[in-house]
Structure 1
């Protein structure tokens, strides 16, 4: 079969590899869609400490069951059948550590990941490992949801995790930094699930702002390369500041601006991680103290968030179909990475 394998930073090869064999505790999928994200591009250029080459990458996966291991259904109380349509979690909690027992599976201390420790979805076939099945991480795709939409459930799950931590209330004003696919998903969740008030989308790239604004229609776009973002948000909120600020970008400055623009009792999500070479910001602690701000980290998702993501897509609360603006065959997967890197599409999906 064809598969994209990582050998070293800058060395990804689309090559013929043996089709994986399904063990008794595993499920084999025919991959229908594996969508791409900025993390795939980072891996392409920098590798990852948890990724041992050669490794098939890709972690936003939806496919069709072609084989069910003999022990799977009896062990997990499931009823997987050949022909079922399934979505796969990316972050795999152990289910046994202190955090998992507390229900905090998104921050499992023993977390492994599809496309890192296990072969991923940039391939014609993949095997869902027993570790995924153990934590109920293989999900039935609703009948009215396409494979491409289901592959977007994984990043949607991460955004759901972040927003569930924020205590968002109807009518809240929301600022989202980052006009990429994650920023668009955050806007869709905030409106479709939490019924927020005005939403403002911030970026420094005018073309990306325009592209995303066409899709998700924020109440206003703010080009941070042209105006003082904090000043503009204060104007838009009559001097109060934003109730909720989400930084879906890896820029240090946005986190500092988020603190400066947050309203009293404002909630902030540091959704995008910062570069490991420059991970610090300047925080005016008195602003946090006197405005009684709530600053939350957000790390990936739990299996339950993936199920909610599929539910939201299926009910239409959080549409994603129109955000998938580029479909490419597996043979052009490296071209897809370039599209993501250059911000030429909102969401790009690969179809083996």
Structure 2
């Protein structure tokens, strides 16, 4: 079979490999779709401290069960499934409290275990042990199901920020995550959703698909001023920074209305994690600033339900479909910003 293995920054190789066999408690999948994200770009350029090369990367996985490991009884050959990316241990204090997204023992597909940029893969027993495999409902194709994992992360962030009926929401960043935030906010009852992005071409592409109530190009106008104009000076109920930008986080504090909630959804570069915060705004406006880190198996299950029900459409966000042989082109397409969502079809 063919796999795409990471060896070092700038060194991802398409190789032949023997098909894996599932061990006790494991599943073997025929990978049908594994979508790409900005994390794959970062891995390709800089590596990752949790990846010991060589490693098959790819973590937004949907496929078909082809073989059961010893002791597996809840699945059958032919089942169509989606697989979590982040694997909580299920045993630590945080997991027992229901805080699986911040499990200190968390492992990940495509990092600690071979991922989905392959024709076949094995789902580790640890994934099955935390209910991390989900049946794809009828009517949902594999490509759409592969978008479950990023939507699950978005769901975690919006639940934490309490996005709900009547809210006015700003999403900063018009990549695939930003597009999912726009659509999920709408499905959760937001009255207005504004999209902010520095890159005009990227903004126009995203806005043409998800149709925000306003699309603001931060390179052409002051985004904070534009948000204030749109809200009569009040600001917005929720700001989601779906971009790895300290400036976006600083602006979010300025955009928030009294009692506003701010989700720092996109992490900052490791060499620039410090921002300037007007603490008086936080104090006098009674603002809430929240982090958002990944998703749990339950978030994945509910995200797949949102896709299946049509509450959060995702198929039109997939702008590029590429074979496994095009994985390097796929990663560069993501890096260029010329796509919304790129999926690999091994």
Identify the TM-score tier after normalising by the shorter chain: over 0.9
Compute the displacement of 1:70 (Å): 2.1
Compute the displacement of 1:72 (Å): 1.7
Q: Which residue of 2 aligns with 1:315?
A: 309
Q: Which residue of 2 aligns with 1:109?
A: 104
State TM-score, norm by structure 2: 0.99
Q: Which residue of 2 aligns with 1:341?
A: 335
Render the CA deviation track for 1:254-286: whole Å, top value 9, x for unaligned.
000000110000001000000000000000111
Render the CA deviation track for 1:324-346: whole Å, top value 9, x for unaligned.
11100001111001110001111
Q: Aligned equivalents of 1:178 and 1:225: distance in 2?
A: 12
- Give the length in aligned residue pairs: 346
Q: Which residue of 2 aligns with 1:272?
A: 266
Q: Which residue of 1 aligns with 2:247?
A: 253
Q: Aligned equivalents of 1:239 and 1:9: distance in 2?
A: 46
Compute the displacement of 1:24 (Å): 2.1
Q: How does 1:73-92 map to 2 (within 5 A)?
A: 73=73, 79-92=74-87
Compute the displacement of 1:169 (Å): 2.6
Compute the displacement of 1:249 (Å): 0.2
Q: Aligned equivalents of 1:67 and 1:99: distance in 2?
A: 33
Compute the displacement of 1:18 (Å): 1.4
Compute the displacement of 1:234 (Å): 0.5
> Are residue 32 (structure 1) and residue 27 (structure 2) matched?
no
Secondary structure at the aligned position of 2:174 is classed as: coil
Q: Is the 8 A contact 2:36 2:341 kept in 1?
A: yes
Q: Which residue of 2 aligns with 1:166?
A: 161
Q: Which residue of 2 aligns with 1:52?
A: 52
Structure 2 unmatched ranges of 5 or more: none
Q: Aligned equivalents of 1:144 and 1:294: distance in 2?
A: 39
Render the CA deviation track for 1:133-176: whole Å, top value 9, x for unaligned.
11000110001110000000000000000000012231111100
Q: 1:210 aligns with which of 169, 194, 204?
A: 204
Q: How big is the alpha-carbon RMSD for the aligned residues of Structure 1 and Structure 2?
A: 0.6
Secondary structure at the aligned position of 1:34 is classed as: strand
**Structure 1, 64-73 or 156-165: larger mean CA deviation:** 64-73
Q: Aligned equivalents of 2:37 and 2:144: distance in 1?
A: 14
Q: How does 1:1-352 map to 2 (within 5 A)?
A: 1-73=1-73, 79-192=74-187, 194-352=188-346
Q: Aligned equivalents of 1:165 and 1:59: distance in 2?
A: 23
Render the CA deviation track for 1:286-305: whole Å, top value 9, x for unaligned.
10010000110000000000
Q: Aligned equivalents of 1:145 and 1:169: distance in 2?
A: 26
Secondary structure at the aligned position of 1:72 is classed as: coil
Q: Aligned equivalents of 1:298 and 1:228: distance in 2?
A: 26
Q: Is the 8 A contact 2:164 2:185 kept in 1?
A: no
Q: Is the 8 A contact 2:237 2:259 kept in 1?
A: yes
Compute the displacement of 1:6 (Å): 0.6
Q: Which residue of 2 aligns with 1:76?
A: none
Compute the displacement of 1:22 (Å): 1.1
Compute the displacement of 1:226 (Å): 1.0
Q: Aligned equivalents of 1:137 and 1:103: distance in 2?
A: 15
Q: Is the 8 A contact 2:24 2:125 kept in 1?
A: no
Runs of 4+ in 1 over 3 A off after TM superposition: none
**Structure 1, 15-24 or 276-285: larger mean CA deviation:** 15-24
